[in-house]
Amino acid sequence: MSFGLMMASRSEVRRVVREALREDLGRGDLTSLLTVEATAHARGEFLAKAEGVMAGGYVVAECLRQTEETGVVKDLVQEGREFCVGEVLGRVEGSARGLLAAERTALNFLQRLCGVATLTRQFAEAVEGTGAKIVDTRKTTPGLRALEKAAVIAGGGRNHRFALYDGILIKDNHIRLAGGLSVAVARARVGAPATLKVEVETATLAEVEEALTAGADIIMLDNMDPDAMREAVGMIGGRALVEASGGVNLENVRSIAETGVDLISVGRLTHSAPAIDISLELEALQQPAVVDGQ
């Protein structure tokens, strides 16, 4: 199992944006087609109406690329940089109809991804100095996992496994269906690629001991209180990485980190992050006059 960087590939960004635009535009932006001249040009600014952390500027650029081939996106705030209320996060210029067609989809992505990055930053700052790392989970919006995990990175967190195919995490249902924790770990050990670590979810100190004996590389402490976590960390004694999970919030994450765990997985980074309020303010842009004969 890897806890490195997971960034959205260009092809994935294109696919996600294409589907989002198809969902919103359908056969076309009827309002703009009826009210805005085909030759009209405009420029605009993405304005932050709340403070936050930047994430998803590259998705905004792709939204414009797919709706307005001659459009320009510039002055995008760097991914991972904090911004304040009233700050311009980026500027756009191009066909008025093209900008209007991209507006809502671009804002939906930007507000969502900035929200994920902002919440992640709050968690990361809450555990500074403890040695514990904040990691995400698979509790992502269907179809947006790559983008949301990239936003976690922008916020200062780390990615857990990306999907079921690239990590081994034996949870309570696996244990029950396999016939026991030790049996599940033994089977995983036999079939797992040498590069993948085996992680086991535990809920009691007895299960922690069993996971250690079975040879787990990572032991997840699921919904344990801080005292039990501290005792588990002492039992493990560096023989495996220790992950805390379940019920983590900004009020208790510091106390969890101070138990000595290595990783703290936080599902709410991607399933409950509030969107950051951002608007796109457009204005008409006069076209240069055409000179006869030129």
Question: In the chain, how many domains are there?
Answer: 2
- Is 54 inside a domain boundary? yes
Average pLDDT over residues 16-27: 96
Choosing from 62, 201, 243, 262, the catalytic residue is 201
- Is 213 inside a domain boundary? yes
- Is 98 inside a domain boundary? yes
Annotated catalytic, 51? no
Instruction: With beta carbons less than 8 A apart as the criterion, state whether 61 and 97 touch.
Output: no
265/244 Cα distance (integer angstroms): 6
Average pLDDT over residues 10-24: 95
189/261 Cα distance (integer angstroms): 24
Domain that holds residue 220: 124-271
Annotated catalytic, 133? no
Choosing from 104, 187, 254, 268, the catalytic residue is 104
Residues 178 and 280 in one domain: no
pLDDT digits (tens, 9 = 90+) for 210-267: 999 999 999 999 999 999 999 999 999 999 999 999 999 999 999 999 999 999 999 9
Mean confidence (pLDDT) of the chain: 93
pLDDT digits (tens, 9 = 90+) for 209-218: 999 999 999 9
Residues 23 and 84 in one domain: yes
Annotated catalytic, 171? yes
- pLDDT value, residue 281: 96
Residues 140 and 230 in one domain: yes
Choosing from 22, 171, 176, 239, the catalytic residue is 171
- pLDDT value, residue 287: 62
pLDDT digits (tens, 9 = 90+) for 38-79: 999 999 999 999 999 999 999 999 999 999 877 899 999 999
Instruction: With beta carbons less than 8 A apart as the criterion, state whether 231 and 248 touch.
Output: no
Instruction: With beta carbons less than 8 A apart as the criterion, state whether 110 and 57 touch.
Output: yes
Structure-block tokens of residue 135: 């990691």
Name the strand (E) or helix (H) holding 253. helix 253-257
Instruction: With beta carbons less than 8 A apart as the criterion, state whether 184 and 202 touch.
Output: no
Helix (H/G/I), strand (E/B), else coil: 281: strand
CATH number at residue 43: 3.90.1170.20
Annotated catalytic, 104? yes
Cβ count within 10 A of residue 294: 4
- pLDDT value, residue 195: 86
From 224, 195, 204, 188, select the one nearest 2 (Cα to Cα): 195
Cα Rg, the chain, nearest whole Å: 24
CATH number at residue 202: 3.20.20.70
- Is 101 inside a domain boundary? yes
Helix (H/G/I), strand (E/B), else coil: 149: helix
Residues 212 and 279 in one domain: no
Residues 237 and 168 in one domain: yes
Asked whether the predicted pLDDT for residue 35 surpasses 70, the reply is: yes
Q: Which residue's entry shows tokens 């106390």?
A: 255
**Whole-structure pTM value:** 0.93
Choosing from 79, 136, 222, 262, the catalytic residue is 222
- pLDDT value, residue 224: 97
* DSSP characters over 177-220: HHTSHHHHHHHHHHHS-TTPPEEEEESSHHHHHHHHHHT-SEEE
Residues 17 and 106 in one domain: yes
Please list, residue by residue across 71-85, b when 16 or more beta carbons sit within 10 angstroms of its beta carbon and e when fewer do. bebeebbebbeebee
- pLDDT value, residue 120: 98
Asked whether the predicted pLDDT for residue 6 surpasses 60, the reply is: no
From 184, 248, 229, select the one nearest 210 (Cα to Cα): 184
Q: What is the side-by-side order of every strand in the sheet holding 278-285?
A: 72-74, 88-95, 41-48, 278-285
Residues 94 and 128 in one domain: no
256/249 Cα distance (integer angstroms): 10
Choosing from 15, 65, 81, 139, the catalytic residue is 139
Confidence at 7, pLDDT banded by 50, 70, 90: low
233/199 Cα distance (integer angstroms): 15
229/235 Cα distance (integer angstroms): 10
pLDDT digits (tens, 9 = 90+) for 139-187: 999 999 999 999 999 999 999 989 999 999 999 999 999 999 999 999 9
Cβ count within 10 A of residue 196: 15
